Structure 1
C-alpha cells in the first residue's frame, strides 16, 4: 500500500483491451436491470435498497474479484471469486467511508485479510433495459482505491480520459478520488464492467466505486402494425356496414314505389 506518491495512470499500457474472455462468473445475485431511473448503477458494496452492506467481511454477490499477471485483459484463465466488504483501521480508508462521501457504497477487498495482489480485477454484470438507448447512456463514476485504479473496461473496451485516483501528499495520506464518465460502449442486454486496481506488493488493497446516471434516453416505442386478424375483422365490419346500408336503401326504394 503506497501512500507517499501520487499514482499516475501508467498501468493502462499493461492491460490490453479486447472482448470479454473470462470463463467463470462469481456474481451470485441476479444481474440488476438498469433503467433511466436507476441509482447507484454499479456501486461497490451496495445493498440494493438504497444503502450499503455492513462494514466488515460481508460478501458482495453482485461483484466478482480476480487477480492477474497484468500482461493481458483480463487473464484468459480468470476464475472470479466473491469480494467482501472491509476497510483499514487507519484514516486511509476510514476517511472515504463516511456517509457524506459514499452513502450508497462500501469498500470491497479480496478477503478478510484485506490484502491484494499487484494486479486486482473487480467485475460487475448488469442488464440494460430494452427501452434504454445504449448510445445515449452516460454513467459518471467516482472511485477510491488502494493503491489505484489503473483501467476501467466496458464490454472489453478501455475507458478513455481516465482520471486516476491518488494518495494525498499531506498527513494523513487518505485516498483522493478519481473519476470518469463511461459512455459509448454500452449494448442492449448484458453489459460487463471491469475495474483494474494496481497495488504495491501483497499489501492491503481495496476499491470503492460510486456511480450515477448522467444522461439516459428511452428508445421510441415501435409503431403498432395491425395483425392479419385485425385487418380481417376490420374488413368484415366494413362489409357488414356496407351490406346494411345497401339493404336499407332497397327497402327505402320499395316504400317509395
Structure 2
C-alpha cells in the first residue's frame, strides 16, 4: 500500500484508524513500511528505542484518542501548540505527529531505511477547520494561477501551466476506514497544490532576472502555505467532520 503522504500523515491516518478499531496492526504497519524497514520510537519508556506499534499502544494507554499531523515551516508553525522545544524540533524536520489527548508529540528522522522518532511533551494546538482550509486552498489556487499566468508560466514551466489548466484531475489517495471522504479529497488536492509549487520552483534558471525569480516565488507563497494548512487539517482528527 503506497501513499504520497508524508510519514506524519500516514501515522495520523492509519494510526488513528488502528486506535479506533477500524484496522488491525498488520494494516497499520503495511502503510508505514512502504518506504522503510522499521520505525523506532525513543523517549516514551525508560528503556531504549521501541517499535512504533509498541509506542502507539503506550500512547493509547496514556489516553491518546487519535494522531494528528503537523507540517510547520518558518513563520507558519501550523499543527503545533508548543512547548518551544518540541516546536523547534518539529520545525527543523518539517513535520511531526501529535498524540491527541496524551500530551505527547513525535518527530521523525530518516536514518537509512529506518525512521527514528523522538517523543517530547506537546501541548494542545489550534487548527484550521476542514471547511476553512478547503476554501483557502481553492482561493489560493485561483490567485496563484492568475499570478503565474501573468508571469508567463507556460514559457518557463509548461508542465506547471498544464497542471493549472487541469486542476480537476486529482490523483485519488488510498485511505483507511474512518477518515472522512472530504478529508481524503482535501488531502489529495493539497498534495496537488504542493506539487505545483515544487515544479514551479524547480528551475530558477528559467527566469531571466532576479526580479522575475522573486515574482515567481511571491506568486507561490500563498499556495504553498494553503497547501500545507489544508493537508494538516485533513490529517488532524480533532477537526474532522463526521464521516
TM-score (norm 1): 0.23
More strand by share: 1
Considering Cα pairs closer than 8 Å and 6+ residues apart, tell me whether 1 or 2 has the greater RCO.
1
Q: Give the greater-gyration-radius structure (CA).
A: 1
TM-score (norm 2): 0.24
